[in-house]
Amino acid sequence: MRKPLTLRILSALDTKSWIALGIFLALALLVVPVLHLNFPEDSAFHVSTYAITLIGKIMCYALVAVAMDLIWGYGGILSLGHGLFFALGGYAFGMYLMRQIGRDGSYGADLPDFMVFLDWKELPWFWLGSDSFGWASFLVLAVPAVVAFVFGYFAFRSRIKGVYFSIITQALTYAAMLLFFRNETGFGGNNGFTDFKRVLGYSITSPETRLVLFGLTAVMLAATLVFAAWLVKSKFGRVLTAIRDAESRVMFIGYNPLWYKLTIWVISAVLCGIAGALYVPQVGIINPSEMSPGNSIEIAIWVAVGGRGTLIGPIIGAFVVNLAKSWFTVSFPEYWLFFLGLLFIVVTLMLPQGLVGLWKKLMAKKEGAAA
Amino acid sequence: MKKTLIALLLCAATLPAQAALDPAPVRQLAAEDSSAKVAAIRQLTQTADPDAVRVLKAMAEDSLFLAGDKVVIIDGEQAFDATSGEAIKMPANPESPTVNNRIRGELASALAALKLFDADVGVRLASAQKLQSQVTPEMAPLLARALEKESDAQIKALLTLAHAQANLANTDPAARLEAVKALAETSSPTIKSVLLPLTEKAGEPDDKVRYEAIAAVKAIDSRLAMAENVGRAFSGLSLGSILLLGALGLAITYGVMGIINMAHGELLMVGAYATYGMQSLFRAFAPDYIDWYLPAAIPVAFFAAALVGVVMERTVIRWLYGRTLETLLATWGLSLVLIQSARVLFGAQNVEVSNPSWMSGGIEVMPNLILPWNRIIIVGFAMFVLFLVWVLMNKTRLGMFVRAVTQNRAMAGCVGVPTARIDTMAFALGAGIAGLGGVALSQISNVGPDMGQGYIVDSFMVVVVGGVGQLAGAVWAALGLGIFSKLLEGWAGAVIAKISILVCIIIFIQKRPQGIFALKGRFVE
């Protein structure tokens, strides 16, 4: 007999994890806002705007990392094009934010500035409805889903896998980047979207809006985590893991891997799109360089650093790598690439299970020594 | 030199057999009005008389003067009558006529036109070539006369064209028709633009001539379009050659080890920087032999890249066998380290690598189709490297081992092939070929830390389309992708071309997941 949905969701995580998740949400939704709003800037307890933006941004990245882990850690499919779905979500929401600028742009026109600059007289058809928050939110989910579905269907149907698949996804995001770099594509070319003023009528730079976006990202991340934990434990998740480990055998037993792979691929893309949509209003810019192949590969390294095949690993990885990045790029900009490159090498050579795997190994040793 | 020439001409002119110039236009040269002067210059040019050359030259050199109502040439202490060329008494107070820029231009083209009658074939040829772009209708009789006298076939052909161009403004429709017919044989954009006005009623009243002109423009257009396409296909061929050099190494390492080396583009960069290094060495120590730096760079680049490859294989890739996806990440990390190292060593800016003198210029096949030498040499170089690789893979023991490991690693190991060593060798070979690709690339594009990144996606596509571990596949895929993308670029722009090629590849893989040339065998995975 199947358990009711609430029970099944509850059983996705163990008690300890639920408590940890609760603490995380309490921190993000209560403690950070209180510290940010109620303490003066010189106070030791004050959480600065910089910190909120940075953590908010990294939480978006962590969301992407979890999405990547679903497809790579559990599905065994390494995508080097996840930056594309992230950027598509970001662009879809960015269109709405551009329309929210209204007549406050530097040209004071109804159209977004870059269109005035290109001497366009009216919005292109794909901008239709972009002034509606609902439609924009729908696009955030639908555009990555459709792109992922079409691409994934053809790729998985012809059983492209392994490095072949990775390379083709890389080419996909590369081609998309070139497309978005063009001014004629209608998404602001090189500069992308920036100079946002409002979201849902609220000023985008006000502390309250920031905190709402920050909290929303935290909730989204927590919800994704619960959803992913439930998903990988479900029958679907089991079949997926089986496909990762022995695709031919799963086929011979009678499953069609196409639909399993395609489903997790589309889910992963949609999660990336959501992350992109949360990222854009917090960071205040989206441009085609988000789609560069290098960015997408970096996503893979977050997952690898944290430990793939675990759900907390990607989040840890995203935080570790991105905190290191913001520290390096401020203190030693010229060494960042060396660090990142060596991180790729060292993690793949010495930490195949990532930090989580290292932790587990250390714990096992400790227990072994105690016993 | 010029003075002696004038003196010689003067001597010739003083001979009694030489008819004197018409005095009226000579007098007009010193007229007040610029337009009158221009008319006089043109009239004198028409005579194609050596005496006219003498007078016009004197005017261009500011030694033509007006004394009373006589035009005289004053050369140092001596004075000559301009019309007859006879030496005369030095006039009392000669006046210099104004020679402004318009007149100077007119004089220059007049003198150039008169060079068509020079005794030296070289001078006549140069003059005829120069004339092609500045024919005016007034030149028609002059050109006709020059054509009559001309014996050299090459110059004759050029003059025929020039004459036809001049004749387009002839009042006689038959002459115009003849001219249009002659011009229809050419394939130059300038002649097309000369003919264009004749295709409209306003520019050409005669129907027959107009239809002929329309046909001529069409014929020229189709030849121009063909030349353009040939040019595109050729630049596609050279792009394909570079892709081939990049993809050969990738195909070998993927075939042997089943890994994709994301740092392959950076091995191209290593080769290009090695070329830059050799250029600097030659500049510093052997500036006289600077043209030889490129041949010298070929082995250096090969071994530099191969060495980097060996280090990569021994330190990183070796430890990741069987974990292809992780190898992808580790080699990406290697590429980041290599890029940043290049930035630290050589600076983030592009460095300048110049073509040796024997590679500049090109073969002009048609006026709008020039095949540059550097691209021709690159295509030849790629073919040469391909040949060497083919020999190595098919005629040597090492090649046999490499093929054996590609087909069945376990079995090859069982019969005594040292698979680990073969891996290193194959990787070094692939890296070395990438280094050679870097040498070629340094000749046609910028050399900088990021240069490898732009080619890596394309090289991968070549491997995907061509199939694994297959030289033939890599060759066809590289050349095909190169030519196809350049032709597409021609009428759709670079970005659309890239995207449509990617779409084509994805569709293509639906039909042939193993590439054009699949390895035959009973593989499950």
Numbered residues of chain A with Cβ closer than 8 Å to any chain B Cβ: 72, 78, 80, 151, 154-155, 157-160, 162-164, 166-168, 170-172, 174-175, 178-179, 181-182, 248, 293, 297, 300-301, 304, 334, 337-338, 340-345, 347-349, 352
Residue B70, H or E segment: strand B70-75
Q: Which residues of A252-269 are buried (b: 16+ CB within 10 A; e: fewer)?
A: eeeeebbebbbbbbbbbb
- Residue at B386: amino acid letter: L
pLDDT digits (tens, 9 = 90+) for B375-433: 888 899 999 999 998 899 889 998 889 888 888 888 888 998 888 898 899 899 999 99
Contact status of B329 with chain A (Cβ, < 8 Å): yes
Instruction: Compute the distance between CA of residue B327 and CA of residue B318 in angstroms, rounded to an integer.
Output: 10
Residue B17: per-residue pLDDT: 40
Instruction: Indicate whether B93 pLDDT > 90.
Output: no
Provide the CB-side half-sphere exposure for B423 (13 A, CA). 19
- Residue at A107: amino acid letter: Y
**Predicted TM-score (pTM) of this structure:** 0.76
Query: Comparing B269 with B10, which gets the higher pLDDT?
Result: B269
**Which tokens in the block code for residue A22?**
């609760």
User: Which ipTM did the prediction report?
Assistant: 0.86
DSSP state of B184: T
Nearest to A163 among B324, B336, B506 (CB): B324
CA–CA–CA angle A165, A170, A172 (5° rounding): 95
Instruction: Compute the distance between CA of residue B323 and CA of residue A350 in angstroms, rounded to an integer.
Output: 13
Domain ranges of chain B: 1-117, 118-205, 231-511
pLDDT digits (tens, 9 = 90+) for A129-176: 888 889 999 999 999 999 999 999 988 887 777 778 888 888 888 888
Cβ neighbours, 10 Å, residue B105: 11
Residues of chain B contacting residue A174, judged by C-beta atoms under 8 Å apart: 457
Instruction: Compute the distance between CA of residue B165 and CA of residue B157 in angstroms, rounded to an integer.
Output: 13
pLDDT digits (tens, 9 = 90+) for A231-273: 998 899 999 999 999 888 999 999 999 999 999 999 999 999 9
Query: Comparing B50 with A281, which gets the higher pLDDT?
Result: A281
Most A CBs within 10 A among B328, B503, B509, hence the mutation to make, goes to: B328
Cβ neighbours, 10 Å, residue B153: 8
Contact status of B384 with chain A (Cβ, < 8 Å): no
Q: Do B513 and A159 touch (CB under 8 A)?
A: yes
How many percent of chain B have pLDDT more than 70?
A: 92
DSSP state of B292: G
Residue with token string 């630049």? B235
Q: How far is A166 from chain B (nearest CA, A)?
A: 8
Residue B16: per-residue pLDDT: 41
Residues of chain A contacting residue B318, judged by C-beta atoms under 8 Å apart: none
The 3-state secondary structure of chain A reads CCCCHHHHHHCCCCHHHHHHHHHHHHHHHHHHHHHHHHCCCCCCCCCCHHHHHHHHHHHHHHHHHHHHHHHHCCCCCCCCCHHHHHHHHHHHHHHHHHHHHHHHCCCCCCCCHHHHHCCCCCCCHHHCCCCCHHHHHHHHHHHHHHHHHHHHHHHHHCCCCHHHHHHHHHHHHHHHHHHHHCHHHCCCHHHCEECCCEECCEECCCHHHHHHHHHHHHHHHHHHHHHHHHHHHCHHHHHHHHHHHCHHHHHHHCCCHHHHHHHHHHHHHHHHHHHHHHHHHHHCEECHHHHCHHHHHHHHHHHHHHCCCCCHHHHHHHHHHHHHHHHHHHHCHHHHHHHHHHHHHHHHHHCCCHHHHHHHHHHHHHHHHHC
Residue B9: per-residue pLDDT: 47
- Residue at A53: amino acid letter: T
Residue A238: per-residue pLDDT: 92
Q: Do A179 and B329 touch (CB under 8 A)?
A: no
Instruction: Indicate whether A80 pLDDT > 50.
Output: yes
Q: Are A347 and A354 in contact (CB under 8 A)?
A: yes
Residues of chain A contacting residue B343, judged by C-beta atoms under 8 Å apart: 334, 337
Q: Do B513 and A160 touch (CB under 8 A)?
A: yes
Instruction: Compute the distance between CA of residue A141 and CA of residue A93 in angstroms, rounded to an integer.
Output: 10
Q: Is B353 helix (H, G, I), strand (E, B) or coil?
A: coil
Cα radius of gyration (chain B) = 34
Instruction: Compute the distance between CA of residue B36 and CA of residue A105 in angstroms, rounded to an integer.
Output: 63
Helix axes B397-407, B207-257, angle to 10 degrees: 80
CB within 8 Å of chain A, chain B residues 305-324: 316, 319-320, 323-324
Contact status of B335 with chain A (Cβ, < 8 Å): yes
pLDDT digits (tens, 9 = 90+) for A199-229: 887 888 888 888 899 999 999 999 999 999 9
Instruction: Compute the distance between CA of residue A320 and CA of residue A327 in angstroms, rounded to an integer.
Output: 11
Residues of chain B contacting residue A348, judged by C-beta atoms under 8 Å apart: 320, 323, 326-327, 329-330, 333
Residue A195: per-residue pLDDT: 81
The structural architecture, per CATH, of the domain B231-511 is Orthogonal Bundle (1.10)
Nearest to A349 among B316, B328, B509 (CB): B316
Q: How many CB pairs (< 8 A) connect A and B?
A: 114
Q: Are B276 and B269 in contact (CB under 8 A)?
A: no
How many percent of chain A have pLDDT more than 90?
A: 34
Q: How far is A342 from chain B (nearest CA, A)?
A: 6
Residue with token string 């690598």? B353
Residue B13: per-residue pLDDT: 43
Query: Comparing B274 with B68, which gets the higher pLDDT?
Result: B274
Residue B517: per-residue pLDDT: 58
